[in-house]
Structure 1
Amino acid sequence: MKKVLAFDMGATSIRGILAYIEDGKFCTKEVMRMAHKIQKREGRLYWDWESLAGKIEETILENQDVSCIGIDTWGVDFGLIDKEGNLLQAPHCYRDEKFSEGREEAKALMEEFELFQNSGNQIMTINTVYQLLALKNLEAEVYEKADKLLMIPDLLFYLLTGEKIGEESIWSTTGLYDLSKKAVSDHLFSKLQLRKELVPKIVRAGEWKGNTKNARLERLRSLSIDVIPVCGHDTASALLMTERDAENPSLFLSCGTWSLIGTSVEKALVSKEAYERNLTNELSYQSETLFFKNITGLYLLEKYKEELEGRLGRKIAFSEITAFVQKDAEPESLLDMDAEVFGREGIKVKQEIDAYLLAKGGQPPKDDFSYFTLIYASMVEKYREVKEDIESILGKTFSKLQMIGGGARSEYLAEKIAKNLRLKVKAGPYESSALGNILLLLQKEGEIGSLEEGRRLIYEASEIREYSF
């Protein structure tokens, strides 16, 4: 029996999960969970990199009996390594508002639709391409010293193995990867006047291997644990846990800090219609193409919960929120969850929601807890809009949806989605990114014969609920 260790890193917390197959059953044990916060220095936003990397190192040292390790994280963010192999600075956080300067720089060099056609990625200010352009202009010395650009999971892979590689799924979030050709876009690097030599060797998930004996972290070099580049993007990893039915395909909804709703397609869709509806293409395992939309998700609800707790001077349980919203009246006006203001770090949620509604001729909620009702309703309405956009572009109608991620735990949200979108909804597994990570590790270690077998074992060990309209 081989044990594997998956690190699943989200924008507010990271976790380490030990997994193995015993007596034909799938078993897991959470061995680490740590909340983390964005750091603000001199007007810029950074990840608390030393704490993140240190916690991962510590967790590995405490679990030396594992045979391999995998890492998945959020997308778009990166670190820069110099020629001596040193990290030049802590990675910036995608919520840094200075990246808007990179977007303006890109607009001066090419039309946004041309960028979309050559990358397939939804045009968002957080995208790696805009981050890199902003860094080139605002931190020229760092940009010029850089030898390689490593996305967050690849940066951790480097710390654990000493190898500089780029995993395909995480690179497909950059806005610099041509999803139609499944290769880095020479055209974009040239047109945007960016250094192509920053790109590391690109590999597909599961098709490379490093080892801790060559780690940059000295304390890990005494160990000999394989490190596998799984699907580095947490969304791609999570979607390995969704059921596959070629004859009756399903929509997926990865519901966490961000909401990502879409489906699998044969090739990247880069039409004018897809661009105008702000849809995106990314890659998953074995270069599978995903067609979906990124939407501000539970981030806004969590931020408002934190804000209200501060005002009330007490903690608010999600059960209390659910009990209220189930009885509350539907809001008369809704928010556009695409509005960039609702995804900003440090947002004063009530103030921004009130301003938005008043500007649209609506009225703010009268009860503090009705803001939760409003956020839930606005999320579901955006899901409905995106479902219709995708159906229009693909010329097909979907009858079912699978929710994964933390939001799938909410019966209220799942029931509301089923009713408003008129879909059969399957909710679960919940820790889907970590589970998809584990699934590839177990396959690589020969503990399962196929992904289908592993998925079945994980489903048997997971709570999964179904809802109908």
Structure 2
Amino acid sequence: MNMIAFDLGASSGKIYLGSFKDNMLNLKEIYRFQNSCIQMNGYLYWDIISIYANLEKGIRSCIQESSEPVVSMGLDTFSNDYGLVSKSGELLSCVHCYRDKRTQTHRQEIDRILSARERHFLTGNQIAPCNTLMHLAAMRLEDSGFMLDYADKLLFIPDLLTYFLTGCQISEYTIASVSEMFDFKTGSFHPRILDAYHIPDRLLPTVTMPGTVVGNLSNALCEEWNTDPFPVITVCEHDTASAFVSAPCEESSVIISSGTWSLVGIEMDGPVINETTCRYNLANEGGVPGRHRLMKSVMGLWILQEVQAYYNAIGMDISIPEMVQKAEAAKPYQYLIDPDDPIFFTPGNMPLHICKKCELLYNSAPSGVGELVRCVLESLAFKYRWAIEALKEATGMSLCDIHIVGGGSNNRLLNQLTADICHRTVYAGPENAAAMGNVIVQLIAHGQIKSIEEGRSLVKETCPAVVFYPREAEAEACEEQYKKFVELISK
């Protein structure tokens, strides 16, 4: 049987054709397109029209490529962003990017309505400027709040794209759970949050669990593509949740979904909300039933992507692998930064931001690409260890190895630094983890496999992990530098 998996990230969109035959899982990338936020008049937006047009092209290509009828498709994307739809089904406005400055502008006013602490204990979510709630609250505090009163429905990006394909409107659980508006106790949106920020509850469709058939492709699209109707299934629509599904790990493993963001987390039976999760700003996030996630969001390879974008913009074309190669030759532990410093959150001249921060901390700055990239990668690995220590403290669990999945699992230097600095064996891969998880949930929905464990066994056979062991020779230096890093970020 053949299935389509759409995986939209902050830097690219990928459409895969997944096949399951003779108890073997195969995933083939059929179509890819570039994706990035667009700055216009001081605001950041996604080109949702272009995203949808590319989605259509990808689906058509998969139908043409498939040797047998496609039986279903699933969509997963980054979280928090949404479109507002009228009663007639029209998209009412541009789709803002989660990095848009409007939430930072109104942060103090938003916190005065309900404190960050109160919101964390109500929702279990991290408090972050990217959260859906922050953007809706900012709309109320600006002159665009009227749109919330006029709109009929708010649809998160994967639900919006599903609506364009099927005409059906839902809020998928994993992506709703990270909006800072969700109540894990009731499994629905939290009335206290909605009332406080004047968000009409009619905007939010019924929460739907992963593995649910939403509806078939519209008749118009089936006719245009000369295909029989097939259903769209709610997979774990939050791409991090999908990536975690495919991580071939054991209990008590740490999973890092490494890409534009680095999401450092563990799987739990249910939410963990306490003083420690509040202090460390940890996030409770929904997953496949029985696989709740407790997470720490780290800025991730976004910083590296922005460094590359700056160099390319000034005519110094350089790839990420070339940057990492230069970092390997640079002297270790010269400069460390906190990757989650707000200065690194928005697009801009990232090398300048890093150098300014280092000047402030060290009275000197990285010289050249190698030192700059080494600074970023070492800092990320130290922040991973800090996040793991926070997860241990919040849960009392004894955490063992680390599984790195997603595009960042190809970064061998970061993988080795993570093993050395965290004193844990690192298993890297699969690279296309979100798409793998997407297909696994579709297979479970079709009754082809019985469980996530069975799906992970398929991933192990399909994509054997690359293993990185902590080097004993690095242990003393790593320990000394970690103490310096903790002191640095505590300031």
Is the pair's TM-score, using the shorter chain for normalization, greater than 0.5?
Answer: yes
Aligned to 2:305: 302
What value does the CA root-mean-square deviation take over the aligned residues?
A: 2.0
The aligned runs of 1:195-234 (5 Å cut-off) are 195-213=200-218, 219=224, 223-234=228-239
- Deviations along 1:249-289, one digit per CA (max 9) or x if unpaired, are 10111110000102112332222221121211101112632
Aligned to 2:77: 73
8 Å Cα contact 1:172/1:282 also seen in 2: yes
Q: What TM-score does the superposition give when structure 1 sets the normalisation length?
A: 0.94
Q: Which one is further off, 325-334 or 441-450?
A: 441-450
> Relative to structure 1, is the Cα distance of residues 370 and 422 closer, same or farther in structure 2, using a 3 angstrom cutoff?
same
Aligned to 2:330: 328
Mapped partners of 1:216, 1:4: distance in 2:
17
Aligned to 1:337: 339
Q: CA deviation at 1:221?
A: 9.9
8 Å Cα contact 1:8/1:434 also seen in 2: yes
8 Å Cα contact 1:160/1:220 also seen in 2: no
Aligned to 2:292: 289
Report % sequence identity: 29
8 Å Cα contact 2:126/2:283 also seen in 1: yes
Aligned to 1:33: 32
Aligned to 2:376: 375
Q: Is 1:395–2:396 an aligned residue pair?
A: yes
The aligned runs of 1:4-403 (5 Å cut-off) are 4-64=3-63, 65-138=69-142, 139-213=144-218, 219=224, 223-246=228-251, 249-286=252-289, 288-311=291-314, 313-345=315-347, 347-403=348-404
> Relative to structure 1, is the Cα distance of residues 220 and 99 closer, same or farther in structure 2, using a 3 angstrom cutoff?
farther
Mapped partners of 2:113, 2:456: distance in 1:
45
Aligned to 2:482: none
Q: CA deviation at 1:450?
A: 3.8
Aligned to 1:432: 433
8 Å Cα contact 1:105/1:133 also seen in 2: no
- Structure 1: segments with no counterpart, 5+ residues: none
Q: CA deviation at 1:37?
A: 2.4
SS, match of residue 155 in structure 2: strand
Mapped partners of 2:431, 2:98: distance in 1:
25
Mapped partners of 1:82, 1:326: distance in 2:
52
Letter of the 1:252 counterpart: I
Mapped partners of 1:287, 1:232: distance in 2:
17
8 Å Cα contact 1:72/1:237 also seen in 2: yes
8 Å Cα contact 2:269/2:290 also seen in 1: no
Q: CA deviation at 1:307?
A: 1.5
- Deviations along 1:8-36, one digit per CA (max 9) or x if unpaired, are 00011001000112344222221110002
> Relative to structure 1, is the Cα distance of residues 216 and 278 closer, same or farther in structure 2, using a 3 angstrom cutoff?
farther
Q: CA deviation at 1:216?
A: 8.7
8 Å Cα contact 1:79/1:152 also seen in 2: yes
Count of matched residue positions in the alignment of Structure 1 and Structure 2: 464
Letter of the 1:54 counterpart: A
Mapped partners of 1:231, 1:24: distance in 2:
22
> Relative to structure 1, is the Cα distance of residues 298 and 244 closer, same or farther in structure 2, using a 3 angstrom cutoff?
closer
Aligned to 1:409: 410
Q: Which one is further off, 69-78 or 96-105?
A: 96-105
SS, match of residue 213 in structure 2: coil
Mapped partners of 1:407, 1:421: distance in 2:
17
- Structure 2: segments with no counterpart, 5+ residues: 64-68, 471-491
